[in-house]
């Protein structure tokens, strides 16, 4: 139970407490209308902001979709659209709240009209005691004046007729003053009773008004808080999406979507040379050199023995030459595509050991073909 402050603090000499409390009730209705305008203005601001955010999100969607940064624009666009939705949701809640406040304003106006009718008698009591108080004051002043005049005439030794005449006026002033005192007492009693009831009524109205206004503010605050929570969730989601959007992920996404293939260009010349080198080496392997001649018959003559000796020597040297060509080291050099390895092969072929042996015509021709295919 709230202390009856209005009952205790709105009396005073001029009895203006009723007028102050009545206008305070009217100010409550003005406050309700102003609160409605405030919430409506806030809703308008939120709506304009939401539209601006929607426009900004649309602009983000029209930004360049090229480059590794392009996927980030989708994250920014989605987050901005969600922020716009949060503010639009707040606009919807505020518009619903405005309807409730407007309904309260209408109900408040009806309640004030009813209260005005109920306290009309109190207003009459106020006016009565105010007018009676003024009349009582004048009557008191007249009574004092007539009484003083009568006493003055007596002291100055005026004629009895003048003294009696002054006495009649003083008596009449006394009766009038007494009547106003009684009338004021009645008006005062009625005023105090009705003013006490009215003051409590005004306080009850103000208590109900403040409670209702606080409920409206609470609804307003709750709507704003819910929007802030939603905005916070959007912010957290945006931060999480940006954390998940790693540099490696963006590079990989561009590679997957714009990649032109994983196969590198073929080393055609190297494979071609290697292939032909192998063919030449196989040809060299398959060369059938003349077998050594048998020991000539002594009866066939000395020149035949000399010719046989020369043929065997050439055959042996040709086989030595071919063995060198078919050695693992030379095979590796011949199949290499690197120019450096080819140069090593040339250096090997120019060694004194290799050059001391003169190949036969067949081996020499094959070897020259081999070098030609290698580009040496």
pLDDT per residue as tens digits for the range 192-231:
999 999 999 999 999 999 999 999 999 999 999 999 999 9
Residue 343 has what pLDDT?
Answer: 58
Q: How many helices (H) and strands (E) does the chain have?
A: 12, 0
CATH, range 5-256: 1.20.1270.60
Contacts of 322 (CB under 8 A, 6+ apart): 284, 287, 289, 363
Residue 287 has what pLDDT?
Answer: 47
Average pLDDT over residues 113-136: 92
Residue 304 has what pLDDT?
Answer: 45
Give the pLDDT band (50/70/90) at residue 332. low
Q: What is the mean pLDDT of the chain?
A: 79
Residue 272 has what pLDDT?
Answer: 47
Of 279, 368, 276, 363, the closest CA to residue 323 belongs to 363
- Please report, for residues 61, 78, 91, 101, 255, the alpha-carbon distance to residue 39 in angstroms, rounded to integers and kept in the order given: 33, 29, 10, 9, 52
- Please report, for residues 32, 235, 254, the alpha-carbon distance to residue 247 in angstroms, rounded to integers and kept in the order given: 56, 21, 11
More confident residue, 353 or 15: 15
Distance from C-alpha of 293 to C-alpha of 308, rounded to nearest angstrom: 6
Phi and psi based region of residue 102 (left: phi greater than 0; alpha: psi -120 to 50; beta: remaining): alpha
Residue 160 has what pLDDT?
Answer: 83
- Please report, for residues 53, 154, 236, 240, the alpha-carbon distance to residue 86 in angstroms, rounded to integers and kept in the order given: 10, 95, 14, 19
Average pLDDT over residues 333-360: 52
Structure confidence by residue, pLDDT tens digits, 248-298 = 888 888 888 888 888 888 775 544 444 444 554 444 445 444 444 444 455
More confident residue, 139 or 300: 139
Least-confidence region, from 15-24, 247-256, 336-345: 336-345
Residue 62 has what pLDDT?
Answer: 80
Average pLDDT over residues 91-116: 94
Model confidence at 306: pLDDT above 70: no
Phi and psi based region of residue 67 (left: phi greater than 0; alpha: psi -120 to 50; beta: remaining): left
Least-confidence region, from 86-95, 151-160, 288-297, 350-359: 288-297
Q: What share of the chain in percent tops pLDDT 70?
A: 71
Residue 281 has what pLDDT?
Answer: 47
Please, where in the chain does CATH 1.20.1270.60 lie?
5-256
Residue 112 has what pLDDT?
Answer: 93
Distance from C-alpha of 311 to C-alpha of 296, rounded to nearest angstrom: 12
Give the pLDDT band (50/70/90) at residue 68. confident
């Amino acid at each position: 139970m709230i202390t009856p402050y209005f009952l205790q603090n709105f009396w005073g000499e001029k009895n203006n407490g009723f007028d102050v409390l009545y206008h305070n009730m009217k100010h409550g209705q003005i406050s309700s209308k102003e609160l409605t305008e405030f919430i409506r203005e806030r809703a308008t601001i939120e709506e304009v902001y939401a539209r601006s955010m929607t426009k900004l999100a649309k602009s983000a969607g029209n930004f360049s979709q090229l480059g590794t940064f392009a996927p980030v624009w989708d994250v920014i666009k989605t987050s901005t659209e969600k922020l716009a939705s949060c503010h639009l949701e707040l606009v919807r809640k505020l518009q619903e709240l405005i309807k409730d406040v407007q309904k309260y304003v209408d109900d408040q106006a009806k309640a004030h009209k009813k209260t005005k009718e109920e306290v009309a008698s109190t207003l009459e009591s106020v006016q009565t005691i105010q007018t009676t108080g003024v009349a009582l004051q004048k009557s008191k002043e007249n009574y004092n004046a007539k009484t003083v005049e009568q006493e003055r005439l007596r002291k100055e030794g005026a004629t009895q007729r003048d003294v009696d005449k002054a006495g009649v006026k003083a008596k009449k002033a006394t009766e009038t003053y007494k009547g106003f005192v009684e009338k004021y007492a009645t008006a005062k009693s009625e005023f105090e009773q009705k003013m006490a009831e009215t003051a409590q009524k005004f306080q009850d109205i103000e208590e109900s008004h403040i409670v209702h206004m606080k409920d409206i503010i609470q609804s307003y605050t709750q709507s704003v808080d819910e929007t802030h929570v939603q905005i916070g969730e959007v912010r957290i989601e945006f931060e999480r999406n940006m954390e998940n959007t790693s540099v490696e992920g963006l590079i990989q996404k561009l590679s997957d979507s714009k990649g032109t293939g994983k196969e590198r260009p073929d080393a055609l010349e190297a494979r071609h040379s290697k292939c032909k080198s192998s063919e030449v080496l196989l040809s060299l392997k398959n060369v059938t050199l003349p077998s050594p001649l048998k020991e000539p018959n002594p009866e066939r003559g000395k020149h035949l023995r000399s010719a046989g000796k020369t043929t065997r020597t050439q055959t042996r040297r040709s086989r030595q030459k071919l063995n060198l060509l078919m050695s693992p080291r030379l095979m590796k050099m011949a199949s290499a595509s690197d120019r450096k390895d080819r140069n090593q092969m040339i250096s090997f072929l120019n060694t004194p050991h290799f050059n001391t042996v003169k190949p036969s015509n067949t081996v020499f021709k094959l070897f020259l073909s081999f070098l030609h295919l290698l580009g040496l």
